[in-house]
């Protein structure tokens, strides 16, 4: 059976197919379309299935990325190659030569995919942004305390673009549409490759400068653009010929302070590998060092950094990767540049470099 034919036959049956072949996704199916822990790397609520899951079989993890259909979803969840997933799905579908077909369980009523109300999303984003103040403002003391508590040294706020990263004294915190409280928050604007604002990243904190005691203190708002890829342009690029990029915001601020480079933050490993730099710059990728996994034997951070490096090279852009040389401490899942810099106060941090 060809892949196109398989997808046509599987449309409307993905719920039972996925439940049979990837039972670790049962919680996501049960709670569709709400967020649940990722079946691959865990966490709190980074994964969800699409509203049209029954028809397409697709889902998305904030860290691992988008699985556009049931075929790729099962490959990702089980660590299978294409043919293994293809044969397993084929065995559950009617067709010539198959003897192991089992009628699928009647799928839940398909919820029609919501039309994206771009204007409504923009109004919500603007509502949040209009409440914000500069990080150097007196009201932003909790944000400055948060950065200090994270081990980020003195920050030169003149080099931070105050139109891109700011502070909201009181911001609503929602989970599954329910208001659970109000907290101070650091807000960062995500822009697409053309520099147009697309969404806002929020880090909920306390007045004492620590992460808020909520299940997801870091949240991305809905996008108002079709292109979900972009970056948080937290540093003023100026006339620099070199631009650094990291996954996280705090890591970006630490790198900016230590290496005196303008730094943008992609948001996570998946967004890092899809990062598009502005024209006319060389790129230095300050990658996270993550523990190996089934999907990423080198660690997700380095794997994404290498994918980005390869693409930039193919486009004629000079680029390199800098990776902390220290081993990941016992009990930690990863080591980013903020961790490395905090552990190397009295000497220049060690780094491995991959360049063209």
In this predicted structure, what is the pLDDT of residue 226?
56
Which tokens in the block code for residue 347?
Answer: 């000497």
251 within a domain of the structure (yes/no): yes
In a domain, 293, yes or no: yes
Query: In this structure, is residue 106 part of a structural domain?
Result: no
Q: What residue ranges in 145-274 does DSSP mark as E strands?
A: 165-175, 178-191, 197-204, 218-220, 231-232, 242-246, 263-265
Shared domain for 325 and 205, answered yes or no, is no
Residues 283 and 322 in one domain: yes
Same domain, 129 and 208: yes
What tokens were used for 56?
Answer: 């397409």
Calculate ∠ Cα 20-24-25, nearest 5°.
Answer: 80
Residue 242 has what pLDDT?
A: 94
One domain for residues 245 and 346 = yes
pLDDT number for residue 52:
86
pTM: 0.69
Cis preceding linkage at 293, omega within 30:
no
**Residue ending a domain, choose from 212, 227, 242:** 227
Closest CA to 43 of 343, 230, 300: 300
190 and 149, same structural domain? yes
Residue 101 within a domain: no
Asked whether residue 299 is assigned to any structural domain, the reply reads: yes
Query: Roughly what angle, to the nearest 10 degrees, separates helices 70-78 and 3-10?
Result: 100
- Comparing CA positions, the residue from 163, 164, 143, 161 lying closest to residue 152 is 143
Q: Which domain holds residue 39?
A: 3-90
pLDDT in tens, the chain (356 residues): 677 778 788 888 888 888 888 888 888 888 888 888 888 877 667 788 998 888 889 998 877 788 888 888 998 888 888 888 888 888 777 654 444 434 444 444 444 444 456 788 888 899 999 999 999 999 999 999 999 999 887 788 888 888 899 999 999 998 867 899 999 999 999 988 788 888 899 999 999 999 999 988 988 887 776 556 689 998 877 788 999 999 999 999 999 989 999 999 998 887 888 899 998 899 999 999 999 877 788 988 999 999 999 999 999 999 999 999 999 998 888 999 999 988 743 344 445 555 44
Say yes or no: 342 and 250 in one domain: yes
pLDDT score for 114 = 44
Please indicate, yes or no, whether residues 208 and 312 belong to a single structural domain of this protein.
no
pLDDT for res 201: 92
Burial of 174 (0-12, 13-18, 19+ CB in 10 A): exposed
Number of domains in the chain: 3
Given 75, 90, 105, the domain boundary residue is 90
Is residue 270 in some structural domain? yes
Query: Is residue 166 located within the same domain as residue 257?
Result: no
pLDDT at position 181: 94
Describe the crossing of helices 14-21 and 82-90 by its angle, rounded to 10 degrees.
Answer: 120
Check which CATH number belongs to the domain holding 195 and give it: 3.90.980
């Amino acid at each position: 059976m060809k892949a196109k034919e398989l997808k046509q036959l599987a449309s409307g049956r993905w719920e039972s197919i996925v439940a049979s072949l990837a039972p670790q996704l049962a919680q996501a199916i049960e709670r569709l379309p709400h967020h649940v822990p990722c079946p691959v790397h865990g966490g709190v609520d980074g994964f969800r299935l699409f509203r049209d899951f029954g028809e397409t079989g697709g889902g998305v993890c904030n860290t691992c990325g988008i699985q556009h259909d049931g075929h790729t979803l099962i490959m990702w969840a089980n660590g299978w190659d294409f043919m293994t997933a293809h044969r397993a799905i084929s065995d559950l579908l009617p067709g010539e030569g198959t003897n192991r077909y089992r009628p699928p369980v009647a799928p839940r009523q398909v919820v029609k995919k919501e039309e994206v109300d771009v204007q409504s999303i923009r109004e919500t984003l603007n509502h949040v942004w209009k409440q914000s103040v500069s990080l150097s403002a007196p009201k932003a003391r909790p944000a400055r305390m948060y950065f200090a508590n994270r081990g980020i040294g003195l920050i030169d706020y003149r080099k931070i673009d105050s139109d891109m990263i700011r502070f909201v004294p009181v911001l609503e915190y929602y989970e599954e549409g329910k208001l659970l409280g109000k907290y101070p928050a650091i807000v960062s604007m995500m822009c697409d490759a053309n520099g147009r604002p697309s969404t806002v990243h929020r880090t909920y904190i306390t007045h004492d400068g620590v992460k808020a005691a909520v299940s997801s203190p870091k949240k991305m708002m809905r996008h108002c653009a079709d292109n979900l890829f972009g970056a948080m342009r937290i540093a003023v690029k100026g006339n620099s010929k070199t631009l650094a990029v990291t996954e996280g915001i705090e890591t970006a601020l630490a790198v900016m302070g230590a290496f005196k480079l303008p730094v943008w933050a992609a948001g996570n490993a998946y967004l890092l590998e899809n990062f598009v730099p502005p024209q006319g710059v060389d790129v230095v990728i300050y990658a996270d060092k993550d523990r190996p996994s089934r999907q990423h034997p080198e660690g997700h951070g380095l794997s994404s950094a290498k994918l980005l490096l390869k693409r930039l090279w193919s486009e004629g852009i000079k680029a390199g990767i800098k990776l902390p040389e220290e081993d990941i401490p016992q009990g930690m899942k990863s080591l980013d540049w903020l961790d490395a810099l905090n552990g190397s106060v009295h000497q220049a941090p060690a780094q491995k470099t991959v360049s063209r």
